């Protein structure tokens, strides 16, 4: 199995170079196989906020056009947040590679928070935006950061091995820029990365792949315009098993319609006749 990452604008996908078959990504698997209860409230609130913020413009439209605007209103906020997250990730990747970057004013607070995290935990990034994949379970993904960090000397971290400089090595960290913090599904996402079979630093060079290194610590850094938080995340065998269940649910859901056949036509005319009962 040899994987190549394809990109088109903000979207990307993974292809098995040997067969040409698309291989699902970790986030796609979770989108297809994991309930998103929080999104139900979010979509209702986002639509209501759009209506209130654009009330005057909406009242000037015909009812059908107004409905169309309301139906699409929530996606404007979602696209803005997704684009912001993508740009912060790209700028962070370049900074971790030692490049100088020019940061747009709108993103500056987020990038400043990202840099604070790197400085204050003295991050030594080994691999950034590296592709990982599982040959056994047929999935791929792109991790954010794999490297070493300097955790404080506190009892809850005593079980983590450190090198001679006090660093906890082989840390797997995901970066999030959403408004709501770190959701539980991040544990499944990190478990998918952690228990992949291979890491491929160059997403376009299958020959750069090697066995996935053992992971010592998994966490997520929540990047906000006014700061950041590094949050430990449990991503062990149990969470990986749950991730694989979500993968199976998604596969089932994608093909569920094929399980339902067409209506069966009766072979003969009906022999049964309904009659009204005698009311006397």
* HSE, side-chain direction, 13 A CA sphere, residue 169: 9
- Compute the 3-state secondary structure of the chain and give helix, strand, coil in percent, each to the nearest 5: 40, 20, 35
Dig out the tokens for 126 from the structure.
Answer: 């080994």
d(CA 183, CA 38): 10
248 within some domain: yes
d(CA 225, CA 165): 31
206 within some domain: yes
* Containing structural domain, residue 144: 3-32+107-254
146 within some domain: yes
d(CA 277, CA 107): 78
Q: What is the pLDDT of residue 28?
A: 93
Burial of residue 228, with CB atoms counted within 10 A of its CB: 0-12 exposed, 13-18 middle, 19 or more buried: buried
Chain position carrying tokens 């993508």: 86
d(CA 30, CA 91): 26
Q: Are 209 and 199 in contact (CB under 8 A)?
A: yes
59 within some domain: no
Which residue positions in the chain have pLDDT lower than 70?
Answer: 9, 75-82, 277-280
267 within some domain: no
Dig out the tokens for 79 from the structure.
Answer: 């696209």
How many CB atoms neighbour CB 237 within 10 A? 10
Q: What is the pLDDT of residue 211?
A: 96
Q: What is the pLDDT of residues 151-174, one digit of tens each?
A: 999 998 999 999 999 999 999 999
180 within some domain: yes
CB-based contacts of 116, cutoff 8 Å, min separation 6: 227, 228
d(CA 229, CA 223): 7
Dig out the tokens for 186 from the structure.
Answer: 């991040």
Q: Are 228 and 183 in contact (CB under 8 A)?
A: no
Q: What is the pLDDT of residues 19-71, one digit of tens each?
A: 889 999 999 999 999 887 777 777 777 788 888 888 888 888 888 888 888 88
Task: Compute CA distances 52 → 46, 47, 73, 132, whole Å.
Answer: 10, 9, 11, 43
Q: What is the pLDDT of residue 280?
A: 57
Alpha-helical runs (H) found in 54-199: 55-59, 63-96, 108-120, 185-194
d(CA 86, CA 82): 6
Domain count across the chain: 1
The CATH number covering residue 122 comes to: 3.90.320
166 within some domain: yes
113 within some domain: yes
Per-residue buried b or exposed e for 85-122, using 16+ beta carbons within 10 Å of the residue's own CB? bebbbebbbebbeeeeeebeeebebbbebbeebbeebe
Q: Write down the pTM of the prediction.
A: 0.84
């Amino acid at each position: 199995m040899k994987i190549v990452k394809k990109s088109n604008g903000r979207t990307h996908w993974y292809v098995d170079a040997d067969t040409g078959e698309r291989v699902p990504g970790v986030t796609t698997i979770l989108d297809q196989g994991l309930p998103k209860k929080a999104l139900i409230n979010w979509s209702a609130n986002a639509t209501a906020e759009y209506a209130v913020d654009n009330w005057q413009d909406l009242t000037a439209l015909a009812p059908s056009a107004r409905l169309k605007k309301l139906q699409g209103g929530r996606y404007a906020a979602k696209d803005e947040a997704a684009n912001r997250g993508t740009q912060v990730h790209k700028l962070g990747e370049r900074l971790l590679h030692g490049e100088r970057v020019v940061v747009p004013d709108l993103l500056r607070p987020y990038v400043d928070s990202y840099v604070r995290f790197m400085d204050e935990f003295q991050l030594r990034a080994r691999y950034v935006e590296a592709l990982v994949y599982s040959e056994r379970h047929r999935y791929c993904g792109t991790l954010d950061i794999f490297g070493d960090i300097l955790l404080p000397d506190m009892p809850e971290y005593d079980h983590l091995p450190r090198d001679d400089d006090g660093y906890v090595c082989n840390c797997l960290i995901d970066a999030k820029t959403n408004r709501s913090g770190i959701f539980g599904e991040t544990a499944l996402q990190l478990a998918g990365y952690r228990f992949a079979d291979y890491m491929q630093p160059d997403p376009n060079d299958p020959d750069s792949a090697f066995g996935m290194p053992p992971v010592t610590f998994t966490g997520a850094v929540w990047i906000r315009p006014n700061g950041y938080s590094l949050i430990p995340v449990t991503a062990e065998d149990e969470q990986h098993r749950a991730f694989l269940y979500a993968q199976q649910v998604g596969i089932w859901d994608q093909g569920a319609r094929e399980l339902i056949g067409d209506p069966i036509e009766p072979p003969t005319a009906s022999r049964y006749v309904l009659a009204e009962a005698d009311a006397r």
